[in-house]
Chain A
Amino acid sequence: TSLKEKHKILHRLLQNSSSPVDLA
């Protein structure tokens, strides 16, 4: 996975085990 991909918000929300709604 490229560095650019890793900086995506989408990437972060998918990877995190917390709910995306709570994170945002």
Chain B
Amino acid sequence: GVSIALSPEELIARIMDAEPPEIFLMKDVKKPFTEANVMMSLTNLADKELVHMISWAKKIPGFVELSLFDQVHLLECCWLEVLMLGLMWRSVNHPGKLIFSPDLCLSRDEGSCVQGFVEIFDMLLAATSRFRELKLQREEYACLKAMILLNSNMCLSSSEGGEELQSRSKLLCLLDSVTDALVWAISKTGLSFQQRSTRLAHLLMLLSHIRHLSNKGMDHLHCMKMKKMVPLYDLLLEMLDAHIMHGS
């Protein structure tokens, strides 16, 4: 497979090339912020970002060689984690703020107008400040995001045929390659062997917080949908429904 043919350096270069462009909301959010217009802006933005995320995933070496079943399920499981890690990366140099897009930055107070959001907001800020303390590098960020995608789903399909088993072994192989790439990226920072192992552990430990945050965010969005606080349509609705369905 492609994953084995590429060196860690080449794989990182391909993963970096796959990075989505800056995405703008392109609509003025009315001030003062209200629950309805903040949620509307955030969901509009998420809908746009999701399309770019599918493009991104397709450019991760080896991803399109997985079965379509696996591609769909990986994306359905990880989409909010990927959005949240991107948000943390954009916000890493802006303490106390979340940079949803270049034209939508919210402080904690501004975010608190949405019921139930402040807890998630604080957790996002805390994880972002941890990345800031660790001085997360762009290459490390890109590897972590690819890892989230490839590690998002351990579920087996009900009818495991030859193609599915082959896809599962390709997936594990790809995950190994991305892990090697992350180790390589860390090794460039000039740390001692011991410090590199510690850094790898610190970065990977943050992924469990991101998964937890994504679950919280998913419940919150589901709740907003049920209360008809925000109309959801198209891709975002489909992705939310898929997640809720997998969860149940």
Give A residues with C-beta under 8 Å from B.
Answer: 1, 5, 8-11, 13-15, 19-21, 24
Number of A-B residue pairs having CB atoms within 8 Å of each other in the complex: 42
Given the known interface contacts A1-B68, A15-B68, A20-B58, the answer about A10 and B238 at a Cβ–Cβ threshold of 8 Å is: yes
A24→B239 CA distance, assembly (Å): 15
Stretch at the interface among B49-57, B83-91, B179-187, B211-219: B49-57
Return A9 CB to nearest CB of chain B, in Å: 5
A interface majority secondary structure: helix
In the bound complex, residues from chain A placing their C-beta under 8 Å from that of B76 are 10
Contact of B72 among A14, A20, A24 (CB under 8 A): A14
29 sample A-B contacts, Cβ–Cβ < 8 Å, listed by A number: A1-B68, A1-B69, A5-B72, A9-B235, A10-B54, A10-B72, A10-B75, A10-B76, A10-B238, A10-B239, A11-B68, A13-B51, A13-B54, A13-B235, A14-B54, A14-B58, A14-B64, A14-B68, A14-B72, A14-B75, A19-B55, A20-B51, A20-B54, A20-B55, A20-B58, A21-B52, A21-B55, A24-B51, A24-B235
Alpha-carbon distance A24/B47, docked complex (angstroms) = 10
Structural contact, A10 and B55, CB atoms closer than 8 A: no
Shortest Cβ gap from B11 to chain A (Å): 21
Q: Is B128 an interface residue (CB 8 A)?
A: no
Interface contact B55-A11, CB-CB below 8 Å: no
Q: How far is the CB of B55 from chain A (nearest CB, A)?
A: 5
Q: Bound state CA distance, A9 and B238, in angstroms?
A: 8
Q: Does B234 sit within 8 A of A, measured CB to CB?
A: yes
Instruction: Indicate if the CB atoms of A8 and B72 lie closer than 8 Å.
Output: yes
- Closest CB of chain B to A19's CB: distance in Å? 6
- Pairwise interchain contact B235-A10, C-beta atoms closer than 8 A: yes
Q: How far is the CA of A9 from the CA of B237 in the complex (A)?
A: 10
Contacts of B58 in A (CB 8 A): 14, 20
Query: Which B residues touch A24, using CB under 8 A?
Result: 51, 235
With A21-B51, A21-B52 known to touch, is A9 a contact of B72 (CB < 8 Å)? no
B71 located at the interface, meaning its Cβ lies under 8 Å from any Cβ of chain A in the complex: yes
Nearest to B71 among chain A residues (CB) is A14
Q: Which residues of A contact B235 (CB under 8 A)?
A: 9-10, 13, 24
How far, in whole Å, are A20 and B51 apart by their CA atoms in the complex? 6
